[in-house]
Each structure stands twice: as C-alpha cells, then as structure tokens.
Amino acid sequence: MNLSVMDVIKEKLKLLPDNPGVYIMLDCYGNVIYVGKARILKNRVRQYFHNSPKPEKVTKMVENISDFNYIITSSEIDALALENNLIKKYKPKYNILLKDDKTYPYIKVDLREKFPNFYITRKIKKDGCKYFGPYMGGISCKDILETLQLTFAVRLCHTKITSAPHRECLNYHIGRCTAPCAFKISEEDYAVRVKKAVDFLDGNLAEAQSVLKNKMLAAADNENFELALDYKNKLGMIAKLEGKRITSLNKFIDVDVIAYATNKLYSAASVLVTRKGIMQGGSSFALDEAHISDSEALTAFIVQYYQNHEIPSEIVVEEFCEKELLQSYFKKIFDKNVEITVAKQGDKFRLLQMAEQNAGEYLEKSVDKIKHKDDMTVNACKRLQELLGLKRYPRRMECYDISNISGVDKVGSMVVFVDGDADRSSYRRFKIKTVEGANDFASLQEVLLRRLNKLGTDEEERFPKPDLIIIDGGKGQLSAVNEIFREKRIDGIELVSLAKREEEVFTLNSDESVKISHRDYALKMLQRIRDEAHRFAITYFRNIHSKRNLSSVLNEIPGVGKVKRMALLEKFGTLDKIMAADESELMQCSGVSETLARKIKDYLNDNL
C-alpha cells in the first residue's frame, strides 16, 4: 500500500459515521474484494487499519485494500440483509461464498385440492402447500412416495381431475392407486387416505409398518417373492427412519444444528438437520473468508445458507453466535419466528457436539483442498497476468465459442469466470441472426458486437465490463474479434485467444504465441474456461437442433396441432424425453387426452 493510498484512507477513516451500515473494500483496480456489515461503521472499519493482531486472512485482505466505501442503513438488521445482497452481486473473493447450492428433495402436497397428489420438489414456496423433508442421509424420496402408494393408494401423478372421468391406469389395476380421476373413490374416502399419508410423513410410522408387513406375508404366501422383497425393502427404509428418531425431541419441532470451526486461516461449518424429531442427515461446508470475528463469520454463513434451504422453527448454535440479530433478521426478512438456541445440555447439546466434531474433521480434510483451489483460481489469475503481461488483474474473464453443423442452427456462448472460478449465473447464450452459412469468424463478430453494445448502457449493471476476453481459436479468430474492438473503440478490456492444437495463447502484443507449461495452473484455468464455453455452446446447439427436429416430428402426428405441439415442447424440450415419458406424463400437457397420449406413443414407437 503506497503512501498516497494510505493518506486517502486515513482521511476517509476520520469521516466515518456512528451509524450502522455496510462497508465495501476495494483493490487497486476498483474491484470489490470484501463486503461487511457493522453496528457502528466508525468502530468496525477502523479495526482493519489498527496495528492490533488480526487473523492471517484479514491481514492478507488489508494488504490489498486501496479504498473503501460505505452505505448507512437504519439498523444492523438492514445492514445484514444489504451485506448479503451485495455479496451475491459482487462475489468478493474475501467473503464467504457458498458454492454448494445443492438443495435436498421434499415431498409436496396441496391439501386444498379435492384429490391431492404427492410429488417430489426441491423448491419451497409460500404457496399454501405442505412440504415434508428435506430427505437426506440415504433416505430416498422415491422410496417414501412408493411407500405412500403401496400403503395408502394415494395418487402420485399430475393428471388433472375434470368433470369427465379418465380411464383407469395400470396403478389402479395393481392396487397402487384408487383412481380418483376415474371417479372410483369418493372425495371423503380419499381424504381419509390422504390424512393417513400425511400422518406417516409427520413421523407416525406404525400403521405403514403394519400394512406393509401384512402385504409382505400375503405376497410370500402366494409365492410372489419379488413383490414380497419389495415390501421388505420398504420396511427396511421405514426402520431406518425410525432409527433416526431422537426420542426426547418434540416431534413437532424442526431443528437445524450449526457448528463452526476455524484454524484462523480457513474455516468450516457443519449443519445437522432434524425434522419431526427424526435426524435427516447433515452437510459440511469449507469456508474461505476474512471476517474479524468468528461470530460474524458464523452469522454470514447462516444468512447465506438459508437463502437456498428451508428455514426451521429452531436453530441450535454455539455460544458466540449473534443470536438476537439473527432472530430479528429472520422475522423482518422472512416474517418467520426462529428460535436461536445456545444448547448447553441434553440432546440438543449432544447434537451440537456432533456438529462441532463434523466441522472440525471436515476442516482438517479440506485445508489442502482449499489451498489447491486457491492455486487453481486466484493464484492462477495472478500468474496469468504475469505470463501474458496483462495491464490489470483479470478478475472477470469472459470466454466465447461458436457451435453449428454446416451453418445450421448457429449459436454462440459466453461463459464467465470471476477470480478464476465459474460464475454460472452470468453465462449467456446467443442465436446467430445475421450470418449466412458456416462462418465462425463472422459469428464471433456478431456475438462480441452484441455483447460490447451493452457497455455504457443501463444493462451494464447486469453485464459488467470484463477485464479479459478469451476467444476459442487461433490468430484468425483473434483478428476477427479485434476488428470489433477497433470499431467500438474498446478500451480497458484485454483480448487473447487459446488455440486447441498446441494450447498456444495468442495476444495482440506479439505475432508470436505464448506457450505456457501444461503443468502451469494458469494454462489449466484457461483450458477450463475454454472447455466450459465449448460445452455450453454445444449444449445450446443440441437443444435448439433437437427442438427444431422435434417440432417437425410432432407436426406429423394426427391430432397434435400448434397449441398441443407448443405444450409438449415446453414441458419436455427434446424428442428423447417425450419418447421416455409414459402416457400419464404426456397427459400433463394442456389438451393432451388419454387417447391422444396413446396416439403419440404409438406413432413414436412405430416410426422412430
């Protein structure tokens, strides 16, 4: 940090207010490298620049600060919410960024319907429906649904129940469904079955065990051993659920247990999930952040985690957690009363100890993995800047590729890496509109022109200016794109291309290519972004090509007009998916009756 930068920072520190708010740390290129919230901005921001001992990760971050900004908020809760939004927007490299957006499956049912159906979903919405789960730790949602069907004969399909009866499907004839769509059961009798199914999902397993055991014995007596084995497997799954029950926990309370472990450079968090008194399983996360305190790190993790996961009625945490702040945050942002509990004894304390052990073990195993990831991402970006003589650190890199067959269905792809890591939410696809035939150079020019036209407009907020653009190809592709750069008078974006054959990098600074060792992480990163752009373009091309062919095939089936063709295209997307669908799945499309579904299946089977 040079003297002039430090002088500017010292002057800005004097002007910091006593209000709560969010502070934004910037590097020498103006990139946001850290976002934090504060109850008192003046006190928190000054802490970074005091000579007092700080965690190693914080020290590294401070060395890269060239400026900072701040936003005043009305409360610390608002600051916490704004901090989370800005982290999602800027993806600062020194904040916690949960890359594992894995969501677990739930079983959903809408009890307001006359004949509710049960099905799997991974998204929870405020839609008045009832959700059960998440199911993890070796418990299969599919097995749960099959158990509901075998035991209570409730429907799992999405068939619309209309004023005219449908024909019964196979599940009715084998006793797995009561066929409400065919008017084979009254609304009252079906409601009794639904209530029993809901009781089972709520953890009352006894009736299902009894019914399945009787069916298993009957099947064995009739020497239907394959069916008896299926019943036995379902009983085993229920026994596994029963074995995860925590007897002293209130079966109506949903609890998440969260622990945090750190070695002052890297951290880990572990989440154990309990629903209806049954331990569902857990997840662990490796964290790489620059928080001054463990309490802030844990709070930031919890806020990010519950952007993509169900919020329980209670969260058990360690003593240093910002309990009151989180409770207020969940109430204000999600309108949900969440009890934050610091457990010191009993089952919840034992669960917390288990989570702490999981977090500690995961951290120990993850340190080398995190270091390796740093080498493959941030350090590889620094290395690439050095090898190619780039004027600035290539924080945001965009790579482009073109895909077509003989000039048909031409498409382009744009993939984005931030600090050497894929930012999939920023990927974009392009249909080539102005180019005739298989002209990759002209196609690249069209794509880059459309992309660069967004700079300096209102859309630049969604499409930030990249530091480096990478083209999949050699000198020819690089020259073609450079023509667009000159035409648009682009400044501040550097341009290179990566040729596949020898993995040479071409730049605008020299006629000679730059050859990087195949062992170098900088080249490996370039290969990753190039291969990702190619994969993304090929996938888009196949989708378009498949849909075009699918539309022409559907057009040949009697009874499939424009509206039904569009409904099938929207639901299934590809010919392979339609061919794999059964009649009941086809009937979920608007206007597709049982008769037409059978016609579609027969036509595809006979002609393809």
pLDDT in tens, 474-529: 888 999 999 999 988 888 899 999 987 788 999 988 888 899 998 899 999 999 99
Q: Which of 93, 192, 120, 106 is nearest to 152 (CA)?
A: 192
Nearest to 74 by CA among 101, 102, 44, 39: 39
Note whether 393 and 539 are same-domain residues. yes
- Classify residue 101: in a domain, yes or no: no
- Mean pLDDT of all residues belonging to the chain: 85
Q: Could you tell me the maximum CA-CA distance found in the chain, to the nearest angstrom?
A: 89
Q: What order do you get walking across the sheet with 278-287 strand by strand?
A: 278-287, 267-275, 255-262, 314-317, 339-342
Query: Same domain for 363 and 304?
Result: yes
What's 283's domain CATH number?
Answer: 3.30.420.10
| Same domain for 510 and 467 | yes
- Position 132 pLDDT exceeds 60: yes
- How many folded domains does the chain comprise? 5
CA distances from 323 to 77, 78, 316, 384 (A): 12, 16, 10, 43
Residue 366 has pLDDT above 60, yes or no: yes
Q: Quick one: pLDDT at residue 167?
A: 84
Domain boundary among 496, 519, 543: 543
Domain boundary among the residues 36, 58, 90 is at 90
CB half-sphere exposure, 558, CA atoms < 13 A? 4
* Pair (567, 598) in one structural domain: yes
H/E stretch holding 451 reads helix 440-452
Q: How far apart (Å, rounded) are the C-alpha atoms in residues 384 and 520?
A: 10
**CATH number of 30's domain:** 3.40.1440.10
pLDDT value for 328: 95
Are 286 and 322 contained in the same domain?
A: yes
Euclidean distance between CA atoms 569 and 106, whole angstroms: 27
Q: How far apart are CA 150 and CA 346, in angstroms?
A: 38
CA distance 496 to 601: 50
Do residues 306 and 346 share a domain?
A: yes
Predicted confidence (pLDDT) per residue in 429-461, tens digit: 888 888 877 788 888 899 999 999 988 888 888
Least confident of 95-99, 226-230, 500-504: 95-99
* Whole-number pLDDT of residue 545: 54
In a domain, 79, yes or no: yes
Q: Which residue has the higher pLDDT, 7 or 540?
A: 7
Cα dihedral 452, 454, 456, 462 sign: negative
Residues 391 and 538 in one domain: yes
Question: Which conformational region is residue 130 in: left (phi greater than 0), alpha (psi within -120 to 50 degrees), or beta?
Answer: beta
Residue 309 belongs to what domain range? Answer: 255-376
* Weakest-pLDDT range from 206-210, 477-481, 576-580: 576-580
- Residue 108: pLDDT above 50? yes
- In a shared domain, residues 574 and 588: yes
Establish if 26 belongs to a structural domain: yes
Pair (490, 586) in one structural domain = no
Q: At what angle do helices 294-305 and 323-334 cross, to 10 degrees?
A: 20
Residue 249, in any domain of the structure: no
In a domain, 124, yes or no: yes
Of 533, 285, 540, nearest in space to 417 by CA: 533
DSSP string, 223-251: T-HHHHHHHHHHHHHHHHHHHTB-TTS-T
pTM comes to 0.67
Average pLDDT rounded to a whole number, residues 30-58: 90
**What are 135-157's pLDDT values in tens digits?**
876 678 888 888 888 888 899 88
217 vs 140: CA distance, rounded Å: 24
Res 168: pLDDT: 83
Q: Has residue 130 got a pLDDT over 90?
A: no
- Confirm whether 196 is domain-assigned: yes
Domain boundary (341, 376, 411) is at 376
